[in-house]
Amino acid sequence: MDDDPSGVEGYSFDEFFLIPQERRLLKLGEPIPLHPKCFDLCTVLVARAGNVISKRELLETVWPNCNVQEQNIPQQISALRKALGQIQNSAPFIETVSKTGYRFCREVKEHRKLEANSSIRRAVASEWAERINSKFPDAKVYGLVHELPKIVFLGELEVSKEINRASVAIAKELRSNSTVALVDDEPNLISEPVIFQAKTVKYSTLCELRHLGTYPFTLTANVLLICKEKRMLILDVRSQKIHHFPGGYHVFGGYYQDESDSGDLRATAFREVSEETKSMGLIKPNSEPMLLLLEKTNKTFQVTFLGANISADVYERLEKSWESDEIRKISFDKLKMNLEIENVWVPSCKAAILAWLACGAPGTEENEKFGGLTPVELVSCFI
Contact in structure between 144 and 289 (CB atoms under 8 Å): yes
Asked whether the predicted pLDDT for residue 261 surpasses 60, the reply is yes
Q: What integer pLDDT is reported at residue 323 of this predicted model?
A: 72
Q: Quick one: average pLDDT of 277-281?
A: 83
Q: What integer pLDDT is reported at residue 133 of this predicted model?
A: 86
What's the CA angle centered on 183, arms 182 and 189, to 5 degrees?
160
289-298 pLDDT, tens digit each: 899 999 998 8
Q: What integer pLDDT is reported at residue 76 of this predicted model?
A: 93
* DSSP per position, 36-99: HHHHHHHHHHHHTTTSEEEHHHHHHHHSTT----TTHHHHHHHHHHHHH---TTS--SEEEETT
Q: What integer pLDDT is reported at residue 5 of this predicted model?
A: 46
Asked whether the predicted pLDDT for residue 80 surpasses 90, the reply is yes
Reported confidence tier of residue 22, pLDDT bands at 50, 70, 90: confident
175-221 pLDDT, tens digit each: 889 999 999 777 766 667 888 999 999 999 999 999 999 989 999 99
Tell me the C-alpha to C-alpha distance, in Å, between residue 264 and each of 85, 100, 107, 149, 319.
Answer: 42, 59, 41, 8, 25
Q: What integer pLDDT is reported at residue 287 of this predicted model?
A: 77
Domain residue ranges in the chain: 8-112, 120-380
83-116 pLDDT, tens digit each: 998 665 567 899 999 989 999 999 888 876 443 3
Asked whether the predicted pLDDT for residue 359 surpasses 60, the reply is yes
Given the candidates 2.40.128.20, 3.40.50.2300, 1.10.10.10, 3.30.420.40, the CATH classification of the domain at 8-112 is 1.10.10.10
Alpha carbons 73 and 45: distance in angstroms, whole number: 12
Predicted TM-score (pTM) of this structure:
0.69
Q: What integer pLDDT is reported at residue 87 of this predicted model?
A: 61
233-252 pLDDT, tens digit each: 999 998 887 777 888 999 99
Asked whether the predicted pLDDT for residue 166 surpasses 90, the reply is yes
Q: Which CATH superfamily is domain 120-380 in?
A: Nucleoside Triphosphate Pyrophosphohydrolase (3.90.79.10)
Asked whether the predicted pLDDT for residue 137 surpasses 50, the reply is yes
- Per mean pLDDT, which range of 53-57, 86-90, 322-326 is the poorest? 86-90
